[in-house]
Amino acid sequence: MNSNTHFFFALTLPDETKEYIYEITEQIRTEFPFKKWLHKEDYHITLAFLGNAPDDLKKKSIQLVEEALSEEGSFPLTLFQIGTFGSKDFPKILWSGTAVQERLFEIQRNVYNACLEAGFSLDKKLFKPHITIARKYIGERPFSIEELQEKAGLASRGHSFTASAVTLYQTHIGSSPSYEAIFTTPLK
């Protein structure tokens, strides 16, 4: 297996949500330059990053995640902000977030714990649900999240959707889209 190939479990986003986020990026892309804008098919909320996963652990994690989510129902989420990670003036990541929803944290814990049980060593950082939309700000002037939020117009419009599936994705570095769905389990 290619050492640049990684796997991760993520909350699957509906096509209309991906389109909604993409429409926002089209409004802000020229004024707020980033080195890489993600393909709309790559939008997701990561629940557990597995890294370079051996087949046996991957199979076991699929089985355990499917069992952990077998009684879980779908639930509503609302996109409500755009934020950044990294330096305020030259951020590394531009993301869209959701309103706090405890069900999302429950699903993430179930997936995370199933992957630990399968034998993966996972990142212990606090779960911060987000949808990465761009990487590495390359503007000449310092970045302004306030200007971006005003331009994106999120305050005047919202977008709600139903979270109804969790997917295991495989990365394909250099491809666009970069993520391939390997396995999907629906939420009831």
CATH number of the structural domain spanning residue 73: 3.90.1140.10
Element containing residue 94 per DSSP (H, E) = strand 91-98
Does the residue 20 lie in any domain? Answer: yes
Does the residue 80 lie in any domain? Answer: yes
pLDDT of residue 154: 63
Q: How far apart are CA 22 and CA 155, in angstroms?
A: 17
Total-model pTM:
0.94
Q: How far apart are CA 92 and CA 135, in angstroms?
A: 5
Q: How far apart are CA 112 and CA 32, in angstroms?
A: 34
Q: Which domain does 109 fall in, by range?
A: 7-186
Phi (first) and psi of residue 106, to 5 degrees: -65, -45
pLDDT of residue 22: 94
Residue 30, judged by CB atoms within 10 A of its CB (0-12, 13-18, 19+), counts as: exposed
Could you give the residue ranges of the DSSP H alpha helices within 70-161?
Answer: 102-118, 145-152
| pLDDT by position in tens, the chain (length 188) | 455 789 999 999 999 999 999 999 998 999 999 999 999 999 999 999 999 999 999 999 999 999 999 999 999 999 988 999 999 999 999 999 998 899 999 999 999 999 999 999 999 999 999 999 999 999 999 999 999 988 887 656 679 999 999 999 999 988 999 999 999 999 99
Does the residue 136 lie in any domain? Answer: yes
pLDDT of residue 152: 82
- The pair of three-digit structure tokens given for residue 156, joined into one six-digit string: 């005047």
Does the residue 107 lie in any domain? Answer: yes
Q: Which residues are identified as catalytic?
A: 44, 130
Task: Please state the domain count of the chain.
Answer: 1
pLDDT of residue 3: 59
pLDDT of residue 155: 56
| Contact criterion met (CB below 8 Å) for 42 and 21 | no
Does the residue 1 lie in any domain? Answer: no
Does the residue 135 lie in any domain? Answer: yes
pLDDT of residue 1: 47
Does the residue 2 lie in any domain? Answer: no
Does the residue 156 lie in any domain? Answer: yes
* Bond prior to 54 in cis (omega within 30° of 0): no
